[in-house]
Structure 1
Amino acid sequence: MLTNWSGNHRFAAARLHRPTTVEELQTIVAGADRVHALGSRHSFTDVADTPGDLVATDTLPEEIEVDAGRREVRVSGGLTYGRLAVALHTRGWALATMASLPHISVAGAVATGTHGSGDRTGSLASAVTGLELVTADGSLRTVRRGDPDADGHVVALGALGVTTHVTLDIEPSYEIRQDLYTDLPWDVASEHLDELTGSADSVSLFTDWASGRIAQVWLKSRAGTSPTELFGAPAATGTLHMLVGADVAAVTEQGGLPGPWHERLPHFRMDFTPSRGEELQSEYLVPRAHAAAAFEALRSLAGTFAPLLQVSEVRTVAADRLWLSGAYGTDVIALHFTWVRDVAAVYAVLPAIEEGLLALGARPHWGKCFAATASELRPLYPRFDDFRDLALRSDPDGVFHSHFLARTLDLR
Structure 2
Amino acid sequence: MTLDRIRRIARTWRINTLNTAVYVASGGKTTLHEGRFARWCGTWRNWSRTYECQPARFERPGTEEELGRIVRESEKVRVVGGGHSFNRCPLTQGTLISLDAQARILDVDVERRVVRVQAGIRLRDFTRQILEHGLSLPVLGSTNAQSLGALIGTDLHGTGKSHGFLSEQVLSLRVMNAAGEARTLVRGTPEFHAVAGSIGTCGVVTELEMQCVPAFNLEKRLEVVPRRWAEDHLEEVLNTHDHVSFYYVGGVDAEHIRMNVWNRTTQPPSHLCHVRKMGLELMDMLLSGYLLGLSRVLMLTEPFAKVGLFFMKLTQQGRRTVLPMCVAFARQLFYHHDEIEYGVPFARHQQCLQEVLELLERRRFVCIVEVRFTPATSMATVGPGVGRRTCFIELAPSLSVDSSAVFEEAEQIFLKYGGQVHLGKATRAREEDMERMYGVRWHALRTVQRAQDPDGKFVNDFVARVFGPTRRLEESRDEDEGTPEPAVSWG
- TM-score under structure 2 length normalisation: 0.74
Paired AA for residue 235 in structure 2: D
**Hey, what does 1:328 align to over in structure 2?**
386
Structure 1 or 2: larger helix share?
2
The answer for the alignment partner of 1:261 in structure 2 is: 325
Secondary structure, aligned partner of 1:372: coil
The alpha-carbon distance between structure 1 residues 37 and 385, as it changes in their structure 2 partners (threshold 3 A), is same
Residue 124 (structure 1) shift:
1.6
Moved more, 169-178 or 112-121: 112-121
Deviation of residue 239 (structure 1)?
4.0
Give aligned-pair identity as a percent.
25
Residue 98 of structure 1 corresponds to which residue in structure 2?
140
Give the Cα separation in 2 of the matches to 1:282 and 1:315. 14
Segment of structure 1 superposing worse, 9-18 or 135-144: 9-18
Is the contact between residue 74 and residue 165 of structure 1 (CA under 8 Å) also seen in structure 2? yes
SS in 1 for 2:120: coil
Write the deviation string for residues 62-108 of structure 1: whole angstroms up to 9, x where unpaired.
22422234332111111111101111111100101111111111111
Amino acid at match of 1:275: F
Match status 1:73 vs 2:131: no
Q: Deviations over 1:359-393 (max 9, x none)?
A: 11111211011122111221111311221121012
What displacement does 1:155 show?
Answer: 1.8
Secondary structure of 1:375's counterpart equals: helix
> Alignment partner of 1:279: what SS?
coil
2:92 matched residue in structure 1: 50
Q: Which aligned pairs between 1:186-197 and structure 2 lie closer than 5 A?
A: 186-197=227-238
Distance in 2, Cα, partners of 1:293 & 1:373: 24
Please say if residues 388 and 411 of structure 1, whose CA atoms lie closer than 8 Å, have aligned partners that are also in contact: no
Q: Secondary structure at the match of 2:240?
A: coil
Cα RMSD over matched residues? Answer: 2.1
Deviations 1:257-297 (A, max 9, x none): 3231112132x24xxxx212x21111111010111211211
1:36 and 1:54 in contact (8 A); partners too: yes
In 2: Cα distance, 1:146 partner to 1:395 partner: 21
Q: Which moved more, 1:58-67 or 1:362-371?
A: 58-67
Question: How far, CA to CA, are the matches of 2:280 and 2:190 in structure 1?
Answer: 48
Q: What is the alpha-carbon distance in structure 2 between the residues aligned to residue 296 and residue 362 of structure 1?
A: 14
3-state SS, counterpart of residue 245 of structure 1: helix
Which of 449, 452, 467 pairs up with 1:391? 449
The residue identity in structure 1 corresponding to 2:359 is: L
String of CA shifts for 1:114-135, please: whole Å, max 9, x gaps: 2111132121222221111221
Deviation at 1:214, TM superposition (A): 4.1
**Equivalence for 1:368:** 425
Deviates more, 1:299-308 or 1:318-327: 299-308
**Helix, strand or coil for the counterpart of 1:156?**
coil
Q: Which whole-Å CA distance do the structure 1 matches of 2:106 and 2:469 have between them?
A: 34
Q: Which residue of 1 aligns with 2:405?
A: 348
User: Is 1:2–2:10 an aligned residue pair?
Assistant: no
Distance 1:306 1:12 in 2: 37
Q: 2: distance between equivalents of 1:62 and 1:224?
A: 30
Alpha-carbon contact 1:36-1:158 (below 8 Å) kept: yes
Give the corresponding residue for 1:134: 176
- Structure 1 residue 58, shift from structure 2 partner: 0.8
Amino acid at match of 1:398: G
Q: Distance in 2 between matches of 1:397 and 1:199?
A: 50
**Which letter does structure 2 place at the counterpart of 1:281?**
E
Equivalent runs, 1:132-171 vs 2, <5 Å:
132-171=174-213
Tell me the distance in 2 between the aligned counterparts of 1:114 and 1:321.
11
- Gapped runs of 5+ residues in structure 2? 1-42, 268-278, 290-317, 471-491
Could you list the runs of 5+ residues in structure 1 that have no partner in the other structure?
226-237, 248-253
Residues 104 and 138 of structure 1, relative CA distance in 2, 3 Å threshold: same
Match of 2:242?
A: 201
Q: Number of matched residues? A: 385
Report Cα offsets for 1:295-348 as digits up to 9, x if no partner. Answer: 211121122454352x111111221242112111101101112112268x3121
**SS of equivalent residue, structure 1 residue 121:** coil
Matched position secondary structure for 1:195: helix
Q: Match of 2:338, SS?
A: strand
Contact 2:103 2:122 (8 Å CA) reproduced: no
Matched, 1:280 2:338: yes
Offset of 1:211 from its aligned partner?
A: 2.5
Alpha carbons of 1:149 and 1:62: their partners in 2 closer, same or farther (altered >3 Å)? closer
**CA–CA distance in structure 1, aligned partners of residues 123 and 195 of structure 2:** 20
Tell me the residue number matched to 1:62.
104
Is contact 1:286–1:357 with CA below 8 Å preserved after alignment? yes
Partners of 1:108 and 1:212 in 2: CA distance = 36
Partners of 1:394 and 1:47 in 2: how far apart? 18
SS at match of 1:393: helix
Give the structure-1-normalised TM-score.
0.88
Q: Secondary structure at the match of 1:263?
A: helix
Residue 244 (structure 1) shift: 4.3
Which of 21, 30, 34 in structure 1 is aligned with 2:72?
30
Offset at residue 49 of structure 1 (A): 1.9
